Structure 1
Amino acid sequence: MPMPRRRLILWLATAVISTAALPPLYAQTPPPTVAAAADLKFALEEVAARFERDTGQKLRLVFGSSGNFYSQILQDAPFHLYMSADEGFVFKLADAGKTVDRGRLYAVGRIGVIVPHGSALKADGELKDLAAALKDGRLQKFAIANPEHAPYGARAKEALQHAGLWDAIQPKLVLGENISQTAQFATSGSTQGGVIALSLAKAPSVAKLGEFALIPESWHQPLKQRMVLIKGAPPAARAFYEYIATPAAQEIMVRYGFAMPNEK
């Protein structure tokens, strides 16, 4: 027997209200966002993929200059884990009350000279050919990351100063926003070369573009890379923070040329 019209309307209204009160069947918490220094691009993508396979938890990776991320976090950007190429930025965020603690060293980086195939420069870590190229006119453009906010750029400046080349090379410099963009400038043929992170030079997609030589680590301040959880970080971000210290993650980092710090 058909349901009376009044009862049918009441039943439908109740069903709609009850359904709206239920959580969506496939609702998921958005993955945490990791703000990572650009030198980590290839290594961290591998680590994150391994983390997802091992734990089933997803991450959102954002790469850029450590200094820019520092400024954004000060303005309450929605990041959950900050992986800086310079531990000084982490300490300043901690002092500003933005982090859960003072973080943990996760790697020590290195820099070197890369020159694209066909360049007039040689891949010389002691920068002797770069000095000669400045004098004989071979050098037209040379790439480093912006030393004002990119730690790898600051270390490149220190190395050039150590070699006595900083004043002479400044008019030739092309500044990358971060070390990843710098690697693009240094290998694209738009410059004769540049100073980039060893971790980027070891990536197959970059290595095939040119020749690379390490700069002595005594020529610049150490690239102590520190990570820290931002206040309010969700469990998945905390899990990844701990995962970075596992042998599986460290094996990947070492393969990309990072030294593992003694501090845990």
Structure 2
Amino acid sequence: MQPARLTLLAALGLFTLHADAGEVRVAVAANFTAPMKQIAALFQADTGHTVQASYGATGKFYAQIKNGAPYDVLLAADDTTPARMATEGLADPASRFTYAVGKLALWSKKPGYVDARGDVLKGPFDKLAIANPKLAPYGVAAQETLQKLGLWSSVQSRIVMGENITQTLQFADTGAADLAFVAMSQTVKDGKPVGGSVWVVPQALYTPIRQDAIVLAQPQDKAAAVAFMNYLKSAKAVTVIRNFGYDLP
């Protein structure tokens, strides 16, 4: 068979594969921003479906979805919000699963500043950034950690709160805070530290951060939404998720 004909057949096959491609609109917890961008690119290349992703605090997404915001899938930073949405008829209960288990980390832009046990929290510092516990599950984990360490009362006056975990990291990255409780995924890329200094908080100090995905009750393109949910469980997606420091259930 002639090379030109082979090329044409390959192109026709690719066209057939992607001819029914659609779009999935995904509301993504801020801590999962970096891995989501990689997974979305892989998903689009492999399926032809496009991804329209929005990033922010899980609590805010819940309020937006309840008010009719046009999303098809929620990737939450917890498991309680998707469960609540399923109970309230806002999402499909059968579609829910845990796509990642998050880890909390204490991070500073300054190399050597954060020690291996987090004792820096007991010493003199100006500001500590955490995500707002009313909006972000990682903020809840940060508060639980400080309470279990017996430090919540002593540091409250020095806490600055981010609307989500991305803004919380920015506080420490720009010098507005000396320290920040962030997602471990924000401190690594492809399994390697991004710089600064970090303490990975022992998981005994906070409630496990099980991050659930769920399809909303009336997705714009159900086939694309289901395809994306299935892709989150694929070997390619799992590799990305693990490379950013998440565990899997």
Superposition TM-score tier, normalisation by shorter sequence: 0.7 to 0.9
Deviations 1:160-182 (A, max 9, x none): 11111111111101101100111
With 164-173 and 121-130 compared, the bigger mean Cα shift is at 121-130
Q: Give the conservation status (yes or no) of the 8 Å contact 2:161–2:168.
A: yes
In structure 1, C-alpha distance between the alignment counterparts of 2:128 and 2:225, rounded to whole Å: 38
1:167 aligns with 2:147: no
SS at 1:40 equivalent: helix
Structure-2 residue corresponding to 1:247: 235
Shift in Å, 1:125: 5.2
* Match for residue 109 of structure 1 among 94, 102, 122: 102
Structure-1 residue corresponding to 2:120: 129
Q: Give the conservation status (yes or no) of the 8 Å contact 1:141–1:193.
A: yes
Structure-1 residue corresponding to 2:208: 222
Deviations 1:62-110 (A, max 9, x none): 0100111111111121110001011100111111101111511111000
Specify the code of the residue in structure 1 equivalent to 2:236: A
Specify the code of the residue in structure 2 equivalent to 1:230: L
Structure-2 residue corresponding to 1:15: none
Cα distance change on mapping 1:255 and 1:29 into 2, 3 Å: closer
TM-score by length of 1: 0.81
Please give the residue correspondences for 1:51-66 in structure 2 after superposition, counting only pairs within 5 Å: 51-66=43-58
Shift in Å, 1:232: 1.9
Structure-1 residue corresponding to 2:63: 71
Structure-2 residue corresponding to 1:49: 41
Larger Rg: 1
In structure 2, C-alpha distance between the alignment counterparts of 1:126 and 1:148, rounded to whole Å: 27
Structure-2 residue corresponding to 1:237: 225
% same residue: 31
In structure 2, C-alpha distance between the alignment counterparts of 1:154 and 1:98, rounded to whole Å: 24
Structure-2 residue corresponding to 1:12: none
Q: Name structure 1 gaps, 5 residues minimum.
A: 1-27, 134-138
Please give the residue correspondences for 1:10-89 in structure 2 after superposition, counting only pairs within 5 Å: 31-89=23-81
Please give the residue correspondences for 1:128-147 in structure 2 after superposition, counting only pairs within 5 Å: 128-133=119-124, 139-147=125-133
1:184 aligns with 2:170: yes
Q: Give the conservation status (yes or no) of the 8 Å contact 1:99–1:229.
A: yes
Please give the residue correspondences for 1:92-107 in structure 2 after superposition, counting only pairs within 5 Å: 92-101=84-93, 103-107=96-100
Q: Give the conservation status (yes or no) of the 8 Å contact 1:127–1:163.
A: no
In structure 2, C-alpha distance between the alignment counterparts of 1:74 and 1:58, rounded to whole Å: 24
Q: Give the conservation status (yes or no) of the 8 Å contact 1:94–1:101.
A: yes
In structure 2, C-alpha distance between the alignment counterparts of 1:33 and 1:68, rounded to whole Å: 16
Q: Give the conservation status (yes or no) of the 8 Å contact 1:126–1:216.
A: no
In structure 1, C-alpha distance between the alignment counterparts of 2:233 and 2:92, rounded to whole Å: 18
SS at 2:93 equivalent: coil
1:258 aligns with 2:239: no
Q: Give the conservation status (yes or no) of the 8 Å contact 1:113–1:124.
A: no
In structure 2, C-alpha distance between the alignment counterparts of 1:114 and 1:241, rounded to whole Å: 31
In structure 2, C-alpha distance between the alignment counterparts of 1:115 and 1:71, rounded to whole Å: 32
Q: Give the conservation status (yes or no) of the 8 Å contact 1:187–1:210.
A: no
Q: Give the conservation status (yes or no) of the 8 Å contact 2:22–2:49.
A: no
The alignment covers a number of residue pairs equal to 226
Q: Give the conservation status (yes or no) of the 8 Å contact 2:21–2:47.
A: no
Shift in Å, 1:117: 2.1
TM-score by length of 2: 0.86
Structure-1 residue corresponding to 2:16: none
Cα distance change on mapping 1:191 and 1:93 into 2, 3 Å: same
Question: Root-mean-square deviation (CA), in Å?
Answer: 1.9
